[in-house]
Amino acid sequence: MGTLMRFPEAARAFMDLAFWRIERAMTGAPTLIYIEEVWFLLEDEEFAGRLEDWLRTFRKKNGVVMMSTQSLTELARSRAFPVIAGGVPNRFLLANPDVKAFAAVYRDQLGLTERQIDLIAGLQPKREYLYLAGGRTRVVAPLFPPYLLAALRSDSKAQERFDLWSGSGAKDWEEGYLKEVAGNA
């Protein structure tokens, strides 16, 4: 996706088609739409507007929009941010030892308390997350079994093994892949 974004006209055409197809596919069945590095989309005013509309209307269609970003500052500058901040009732925030440098964004834009900001600063990276929902704050440390972690991995080594196993023609390649990757986690 990063390469595509270097060509604004092509990126706009692709995203236009993607948004159109997603909207057309919404049938009322539970639907999850995941947008990685959402700040890319929010840099474009047209797509920021569409995302804002999705956040306002997709619940009626039994849809959920899940977004991730590593650039909270970019997100906070978007015109869609007030809708994102107000329309996303459940939030998982990752560890950030430098959170104090961005405390104003966390406090003023996301409405976090000093205690919540302190919790983010003290989280163990890749192990603990701050979960905010319904006025409650929880530090969660999910314990995933090795097979689930193997299924969720997307690093280059796991992808290489996945490609080998899926192209092997073996009848039970999925199980073989999971056993191998779970053993090497």
Question: What is the spatial distance between Cα 105 and Cα 73, in angstroms, rounded to a whole number?
Answer: 7
Task: Report percent pLDDT > 90 for the chain.
Answer: 39
Tokens describing residue 13:
């055409």
Q: What is the pLDDT of residues 88-142, one digit of tens each?
A: 788 999 999 999 999 998 998 888 999 999 999 999 998 999 999 989 999 999 9
Query: Where do the CATH 3.40.50.300 domains begin and end in the chain?
Result: 4-140
Q: What is the pLDDT of residues 71-88, one digit of tens each?
A: 777 778 887 788 777 777
Q: At what angle are helices 156-166 and 173-183 packed, to 10 degrees?
A: 150
Bridging pattern class, strands 129-133 and 136-140:
antiparallel
Torsion, Cα of 130, 128, 96, 80 (10° steps): -40
Question: 81 near 88, Cβ under 8 Å?
Answer: no
The CATH superfamily label for domain 4-140 reads P-loop containing nucleotide triphosphate hydrolases (3.40.50.300)
pTM of this prediction? 0.67
